[in-house]
Amino acid sequence: MTDVRQWTAPGRVNLIGEHLDYNGGPVLPIAINRSLRLKARLRNDDIVRVWTTLGGNQSAEFTTAVQPGEVTDWAACVAGVFWALAEQGRAIPGADLVIDGDLASGAGLSSSAAVEAVVATALNDLLGLGIDRIDLALLCQRAENDFAGVPTGIMDQLAVLNGERGKALLIDLLPERPTIETVDANWADAGLSLVVIDTMTRHDLGDGRYAERREECRQAADALGLEQLAAAGPDAVLKLDDDVLKARTRHVITETARVRGAVRALRTGNWTQFGSMLTASHASLRDDFAVSRMELDIAVEASIEAGAFGARMTGGGFGGSAIALVDASLRAELADKVTSRFAFHQFAAPEFFTVEAADGAREIRP
C-alpha cells in the first residue's frame, strides 16, 4: 500500500445563473471556504473501501469493476468516479478512502460534486493520469449523471475543481467545451458579506423533480428548433403554446440576461445592481421555474427586509440554502429577522454562515 495522502474540495455557491448549465447558458459560481477532506491510499487489489463521518458514520465497499446500480445513496458519487475512469480504459487499483469535512449534504452547496471532485483529483494525482481540470469535471459529471443517475449539468463540478480565491467564475457552457473566465469577487473590500442561509430543508436532486425541469427545457428547445434553450431569442416565449414550457423558457432567457448584468455589476462594484439581479433571479426561480419553497421564499423576503442588497435561493432548488448580500454590520440583524420569521411559521431554526471565494480541489501537502 502507498502512504496516506490528503486532498480537499470545496462546496460551491452559485451567485446567479440557476438551471442554465444544462441549457447552454452562462453561470457565475464561486468555490467556497467550506469543504470536504479526503484521506486516501492505493491498495494492491481491486477493493475500494470508503468511510465517511458526514451525516453519521457510514461506510461502503465495492470493486473497481463496479457498475451502475450496484452502489447507491452517498457512496454512488465515489463509485461513479472509479466507474467513469474504468470506462475510459484506465487501469485503476483499489483504494482506502476516508471523507469528512464541514460541508452539509443536501444544503444546495454541491456536496455531491465535491465528493466526486476530491476523489477524482486524488486518483488523478496518485496515478499520474494527467487529466486537466475541465476533462476531470466532465468525468465527474458522467459519474453523477450515468452512474448515480442524477441528470445535473456540469457547473458544480467545474466550480469545485477550478475555484480561485477571491474570484467568481464566469462559465460559458459552449457545446464544444466550457470556457472559464475569472471575475474579481471583492464585495468584502466594500464592507459587504455574502451570507448563506441554510434553511435546513434537505433536497434530493435524484427525486425526479430536477429531471422533470430538465425534460421540460428539452421539450421547449425542441419546439423552438434549438439545440439548447439558452440560445432562444427574446420572442421565443411567443412561439410556444404550452404555459409550462413558456414559463421555463422565460426563466432561461431572463436568467441568461441577469448573469451578464451581474458580471457587469460585479466588475464595477455596483452592489445595488448586483443585489437586484439576485432578487430578480429568485422571483424567476419561484414563479417561472417553480423550484423554490416556502422556507427559501421567507429567507429571501426577510433578508431584504433586514437591508440586504439582494437575496436568492441557490442550487437546484426544492430545499437547501439561500444567499444574501448584506452590509457586514447588518449580518446579526439579518440572522435575527430570518430566524424570527422561521419561528413564526414553526420551521426548524436556520443556520447562517459567511462565505468567501476559495480555491478549488487540491492536495493538502504537509
- Residue 203: per-residue pLDDT: 66
Q: Which of 162, 184, 206 is the last residue before a domain boundary? A: 184
| Averaged pLDDT of the chain | 94
The answer to whether residue 57 is domain-embedded is yes
Structural domain span for residue 333: 187-355
Same domain, residue pair 159 and 204? no
When mean pLDDT is compared across 91-105, 154-168, 212-226, 256-270, the lowest value belongs to 91-105
In 3D space, the residue among 27, 20, 23, 26 whose CA is nearest the CA of residue 224 turns out to be: 23
In a domain, residue 366? The reply is no
3-state secondary structure of 324: strand
- Joined together, the cell numbers standing for residue 232 give 432562444
* 150, 203: one domain: no
In a domain, 363, yes or no: no
The reply to whether 156 and 296 lie within a common domain is: no
* Of the residues 130, 164, 184, the one at which a domain ends: 184
CA 283 to the chain's CA centroid: 19
Give dist(CA 18, CA 29) in Å, integer.
10
Which CATH number do you get for residue 208? 3.30.70.890
pLDDT at 133 over 70: yes
Among 165, 184, 203, give the residue marking a domain's end.
184
**Looking at the structure, do residues 154 and 206 belong to the same domain, yes or no?**
no
Q: Is residue 262 part of a domain?
A: yes
Strand partners, 193: 326
Predicted local distance difference test score (pLDDT) of residue 204: 66
More confident residue, 109 or 232: 232
> Are residues 156 and 13 part of one domain?
yes
The average pLDDT across 160-175 equals 94
- Whether 332 and 205 share a structural domain: yes
Q: 173 and 231 in one domain? A: no
Answer with the residue of higher pLDDT: 175 or 36. 36
Q: How far apart are the first and last CA of the chain?
A: 19
Number of folded domains that form the chain: 2
Task: Please tell me whether residues 204 and 346 are part of one structural domain.
Answer: yes
Instruction: Indicate if the pLDDT at residue 2 is higher than 90.
Output: no
119 and 205 part of one domain: no
Whole-Å CA distances, 345 to 59, 83, 340, 341, 349: 37, 45, 9, 6, 10
* Residue 110 pLDDT greater than 80, yes or no: no
pLDDT of residue 105: 67
pTM of the model: 0.93
Phi and psi at residue 199, in whole multiples of 5°? -75, -5
Confidence (pLDDT) at 111: 85
Q: Residue 107 above 60 pLDDT?
A: no
Question: Do 179 and 241 fall into the same domain?
Answer: no
Residues 159 and 234 grouped into a single domain: no
Quick one: pLDDT band at residue 1, thresholds 50, 70, 90?
Answer: very low
Same domain? For 162 and 288 the reply is no
- How do residues 20-60 score in pLDDT, each as one tens digit? 999 999 999 999 999 999 999 999 999 999 999 887 789 99
pLDDT, greater one: 169 or 317: 169
Give the model's pLDDT for residue 106: 61
Do 345 and 209 contact (CB within 8 A), yes or no? no
The catalytic residues are 156
